Structures are given as C-alpha cells and as structure tokens.
Structure 1
Amino acid sequence: MKFQGKVLNWNDEKGFGFVEPNGGGKRAFVHIKAFKPRSRRPVNGEVILYELIQDNNNRYKAENIQFARDARDLKKRSHAKKGSHLGEVFIALFCAVLLTSTYFGKLPLIITSIYIVMSLIAFATYAIDKSAAQKNHWRIQESTLHLLSLIGGWPGAFFAQKKLRHKSIKKEFKRVYWVTIILNLSGLFWIHTEKGRNVINNVIYPLFNG
C-alpha cells in the first residue's frame, strides 16, 4: 500500500530524515537509498509516495519511495502516450478513407490537397510557436492553431503535438482541438452528400478554374 507524506528533518549530508504521512499516522524513517529511481535528493517539505515497512525493532521506515511530482508527471506522459497511439490509428484510418474516396471519385482531389497543405502549414506553425515559447518571443495565438486544424490541418497538428511535445498535455487546448476535428469531419461528411457535391461543382471548382 502506498502512502503520501512530507519529508521532515532531512539531513542531506547524512542522506536521511523522516516522513510525516498526510492525514496523520506513523512517522517513518527515510533514507536516500530507498528512493527508486534515485533521480535527485529530497528537501524538507517535499511530498513523497512510499511503502511503510516495520523492521524487527518495531521501527517504521519508508521503502520504494517516489517523488509525488515525478509520479504525476509519469502518469501524464503515460496517458499522453496511450492517447497518441489511438490518435495514430485514427489518422491512419482517416487517410485510408480519404484516399479511397478520392480514388473512386467521391471526393475532389482539391479537398485531399487541402488536407495535405494545411497539415504541413499546421506542423510548421506549431514548430514556430514552440521555438517562440523557448526563446520567450511573441507567441502565435491558440485561436490561430485551432483555425488551422478546423480547415483541414488537424492531422499535421496532431503529429506536431506528439513530435514537438507542444500543447500536448494542455487539457483545455486539447478539448478545443478535438472539437475542431469533429467539425471538420462533419464538413467532410457533408461534402459527400448530394448537396455538398453540388456546392463543390458549382461554387468551388469555378473559383479554381477562373
């Protein structure tokens, strides 16, 4: 069973101290060697996760210790990695449907081209914003990133989030991002209807043909 508590009376020179469990309970001895993995040294007041062990002298000590912050970050990365695999499968299926629909003439080639171009633009825009964030320069507005996703750049935005690790764990941004995907796919579905095809043939094509 894992407990959570704060490090107290830490002696960094000797590498030991104590932990006081949150909500009350047995104070336990903490040794630097009990941290797994031993990524850094604790400080007084830091929150840790640990297992409580009682030795032969009826003294309590903490074992298999993790920093609570590191455990939360690891959990977030695990969820993000799982989500990215599902996203990759989703995009692969989308591309297969898109290319099949284009091949059989149900979807104009210009629509497929728009997805490719907008995805490249979206990826590049994410890269520019990532660089600006690292250099503390002027940032690209999130509404711009969402607009690129809405008009077909969402596959490129997905890979930018994954490869560049940019906007990938910001929950509010991700929620809006998935809304743009739903709206975009709704529009793509509409294009496949008779009314949508009429708009493409009578409005969109004439624009590109002059």
Structure 2
Amino acid sequence: MEYHQPNMAQDYRGTIQFWDKEKGFGFIDSDYFDERLFVHGSEIFPKGYVPFIGEHVSFMVGNSPDKKIWAKKVVLIRQMELEEPITPNPSNIDISTSSGELKPESIKFDWSLTSIAYIVAMVIFLEIVHVFCTRGSMPIIVFYGYMGMNIWSLFLYIKDKRAALNDLWRVPEKTLLWSSVLGGWPAALCIQNIIRHKNQKTEFKQLFIGTIILNIIAFSILAFFSKDLNAYFAYIQNLFGVWFKSFSS
C-alpha cells in the first residue's frame, strides 16, 4: 500500500480528499502513500471540527482492527500555524489554548430592496393566513402552526449558514425542505436571500419550489374543508370544556 514501511511515531502531511459529513469519516491523500488513508472524525483535532475537501493536514498513522493503515491524530495545518513554535508532532499540540482556537466566521446580512420585498411578501402571506383563521374560515391552530414553522425555518437556515462558514456539522437539506413543506417556506425564502444561503444551488432551489407548491396545495385543501374542520375543533374544544368542568366541580 505504501512506498515504505510507515513509521508509527512520525507525522506525515496530506490533504483531505473526501469527507462524509453525515457519517463522520473521510480519506486523506498523501505523497507518502500509494492509496488514500481512512480517517474517522474522532481523530480530527480540534474536536468537533469538520474538515473541508482540499484542506491540508498533519497526521500520524496506526493500524485499524483489520490491520490496515489509517490516519490518526489528524491536525489542521492552519491550526498548527497558530501555535508558537509550530510543533511537528500532533500529539504535542495543545489545541485547548485560546491562541490555538479558530475564530468562527460571522454571518453577513444583506438588507437590499429584494430582501425587504421578500419580508413584505412573507408578512402579507402570514396575514392572509391570520385573517382566514380569525374570521372563522380556518382553525386558529393553523396560523399558530405557520408561525411556529417560520420561526423554526429561520433558526435552521441561520444554524446551517453558520455551520457552512465554519466547516461544522450541517443541517441536512431534507430537514430544511420538510420545514418548508410544513409551512415555513415564507421565512425560508426571506432568509435565503438575506444571508445568501441555499439560493444559488439549482437542485435545492427546484426542490424548494416544489415544497412551496405542495404547501399551497395543502393550504387550499384545508381552506376548502375549513368549515368541517372548524366544527371538529369546536367539538373537541367543547369536549375538553365539559371534562374540565367535571373535574373542577
């Protein structure tokens, strides 16, 4: 596998050739070895950091349970460069010191006219839902559901943007899409443009538009059968009212 018998006490240099963020493992490409080396996320320092493809690393090697060579004690080269002096052996690097911490990237907000227009559109749509509910056309719980999902969508997108900037664990795209299907798409549409996140990826945009269509269809069906739903929720409310009075008396 390797050009020479690897020294288990020596540190090597290489680059991240592949990384699976969902499963927490990847492979390192190094000139010292013929084939790429497996590396588990638990061997990455600083702990909890998710490397990106092409990132330069320093590492040691060890034997896996099946006697294959894999990378251990993997340290980012840029992390090592923050230390004075630079220690070539990853096992001697104290990554817990404040001088060795990587400063997190902050999110930049774009308050352009386009972003403001999306915000206005979101407010209008939520107000339409609110009017439908307060006038008795739809159960009020529908409005509360929309508000909750929009707040949740804002949280998810901001969390995913921060993770993308700092190479941390990302929010799965299916989670973002499901939040839109369940009614959080107005806020998602706004925050995508305000923080410039997920608004350039063609495949995701197509799926996202599909979630908007699905939610609007569901909302229309709900509005069509709203009278029956109102009667049902009124029955449930009266039933709980009777139970409450029976317990309190």
Identity of aligned residues (%): 30
Q: Does 1:147 align with 2:185?
A: no
Correspondence for 2:219: 188
Count of aligned positions: 128
Per-residue deviation, residues 31-89 of structure 1 (Å, max 9, x unmatched): xxxxxxxxxxxxxxxxxxxxxxxxxxxxxxxxxxxxxxxxxxxxxxxxxx787576455
CA gap of 1:125–1:204, structure 2 versus 1, over 3 A, is farther
Aligned to 1:119: 150
| SS of the residue 1:137 aligns to | coil
The structure-2 alpha-carbon separation of the partners of 1:131 and 1:202, relative to structure 1 and needing over 3 Å to count, comes to same
Cα deviation code 1:105-143 (max 9, x no counterpart) = 111111101111111111111111111111111111111
Whole-angstrom distance in 2 between the partners of 1:89 and 1:200:
29
Residues 135 and 96 of structure 1, relative CA distance in 2, 3 Å threshold = same
In the alignment, the residues of structure 2 paired with residue 174 and residue 205 of structure 1 have an alpha-carbon distance, to the nearest angstrom, of 41
Shift of residue 180, structure 1, vs aligned partner: 0.5
Matched, 1:198 2:228: yes
Seen in structure 2, the aligned counterparts of structure 1 residues 159 and 204 have a Cα distance that, compared at 3 Å, is: farther
Go from structure 1 to structure 2 and tell me whether the alpha carbon gap of 1:160 and 1:88 turns closer, same or farther (over 3 Å shift). Answer: closer
Q: Which residue of 1 aligns with 2:135?
A: 104
Cα separation, partners in 2 of 1:144 and 1:205, compared to 1, 3 Å = farther
- Could you tell me how far apart the structure 2 residues matched to 1:137 and 1:107 are? 41
Inter-partner Cα distance in structure 1 for 2:153 and 2:199: 14
Structure 1 stretches of 4+ with a deviation exceeding 6 A read: none
2:228 partner SS: helix
Determine the C-alpha separation between the residues in 2 that align with 1:122 and 1:204: 30
CA RMSD of aligned residues (A): 2.8
Supply the distance in 1 between the matched residues of 2:183 and 2:173 (Cα, whole angstroms): 16
Matches within 5 A, 1:42-191: 87-88=118-119, 90-191=121-222
Cα 1:91–1:205 change in 2 (3 A) is farther
TM-score between the two structures when normalised by the length of structure 2: 0.45
Summarize the Cα distance change of 1:204–1:184 in structure 2 as closer, same or farther, 3 Å threshold: farther
Q: Which deviates further from its counterpart, 197-206 or 128-137?
A: 197-206
Q: CA deviation at 1:164?
A: 1.5
Q: What is the rounded CA distance, in whole Å, between the counterparts of 2:234 and 2:164 in structure 1?
A: 38
Is the 2:122–2:190 Cα contact (8 Å) retained in structure 1? no
What is the alpha-carbon distance in structure 1 between the residues aligned to residue 116 and residue 184 of structure 2? 19
Distance (whole Å) between structure 2 residues aligned to residue 142 and residue 189 of structure 1: 26
Higher share of residues assigned helix: 1
TM-score (norm 1): 0.52
Cα separation, 2, equivalents of 1:205 and 1:172: 44
Check conservation: 1:191, 1:197, Cα contact below 8 A: no
Higher relative contact order (CA 8 A, sep 6+): 2
